């Protein structure tokens, strides 16, 4: 009788989750939530990285012309405001062009790092998902197999029909853990590399712009609209 019941059991994904131990069900729910959150963060970062790439190209064009528009939004605008604030500050008396250039580079880099730091939000979560969900899935697997052997001991039936369902449920949790971890790791690495490349491009533009601004100052910054 036990064999016939197990043979007719639903082995679909939903069926396995429905018949799983409550602890395994909780682990499955946790892994699904982590996976959904990881994908949401990944898509959000892709959109923002595309915007950052456009701004990096715009800043490279501005660096080539030696001018910095102060009415731009995003990271270019933040860097423009930082440069303008440094020029208005005036620095120390008798400061030479090298000192002005160093101050401008420091100010623009500070603004750049602030914007990039906001873009990095969510990356620790991706790293955590990528490093821990395989172990969470493994814990669910061990728990499921342990539960299966307990059921075998209680039924006193060691046939494959009795053992297989519990093992299948347990192995499904391992697969789910890997399915959550692998995309998170790939996304984390790709986003980190993209941010590094963007920072490198922005740094090159900052050097060029700081050199031009240290020579001509306010003449190289287009005034903000509506501000004298």
pLDDT, tens digit, 9 for 90 and up, residues 212-226? 877 765 555 554 443
For residue 80, give its domain range.
Answer: 13-222
76: CB partners within 8 A, 6+ apart: 55, 58, 59, 62, 68, 69
Q: How many domains are contained in the chain?
A: 1
* 138 part of a folded domain: yes
How sure is the predictor about 124, in pLDDT bands with cuts at 50, 70 and 90?
very high
* 191 part of a folded domain: yes
* 17 part of a folded domain: yes
Phi-psi group of 226: left, alpha or beta (phi > 0 → left; psi -120 to 50 → alpha; rest → beta): left
Strands (E) located in 30-173: 68-69
6-10, 12-16, 35-39, 158-162: range with highest mean pLDDT: 35-39
Region 101-123: mean pLDDT is 86
* 7 part of a folded domain: no
Residue located via tokens 């729910």: 29
Backbone Cα Rg of the chain: 29
* 189 part of a folded domain: yes
pTM of the predicted protein model: 0.76
How sure is the predictor about 116, in pLDDT bands with cuts at 50, 70 and 90?
confident
């Amino acid at each position: 009788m036990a064999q016939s019941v197990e043979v007719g059991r639903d082995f679909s994904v939903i069926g396995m989750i429905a018949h799983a131990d409550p602890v395994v069900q909780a682990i499955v729910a946790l892994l699904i939530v982590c996976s959904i959150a990881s994908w949401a963060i990944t898509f959000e970062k892709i959109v923002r990285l595309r915007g950052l790439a456009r701004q990096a190209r715009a800043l490279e064009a501005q660096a080539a012309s030696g001018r910095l528009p102060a009415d731009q939004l995003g990271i270019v605008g933040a860097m423009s405001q930082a440069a303008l604030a440094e020029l208005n500050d005036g620095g120390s008396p008798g400061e030479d062009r090298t000192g002005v250039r160093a101050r401008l580079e420091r100010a623009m880099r500070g603004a750049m790092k602030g914007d990039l730091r906001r873009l990095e939000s969510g990356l620790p979560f991706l790293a955590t998902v990528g490093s821990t969900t395989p172990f969470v899935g493994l814990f669910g697997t061990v728990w499921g197999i342990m539960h299966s052997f307990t059921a075998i001991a209680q039924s006193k039936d060691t046939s494959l029909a009795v053992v297989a369902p519990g093992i299948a449920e347990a192995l499904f949790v391992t697969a789910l853990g890997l399915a959550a971890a692998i995309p998170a790791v790939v996304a984390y690495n790709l986003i980190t590399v993209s941010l590094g490349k963007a920072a490198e491009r922005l740094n090159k533009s900052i050097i060029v712009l700081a050199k031009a601004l240290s020579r001509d100052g306010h003449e190289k910054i287009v005034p903000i609209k509506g501000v004298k």
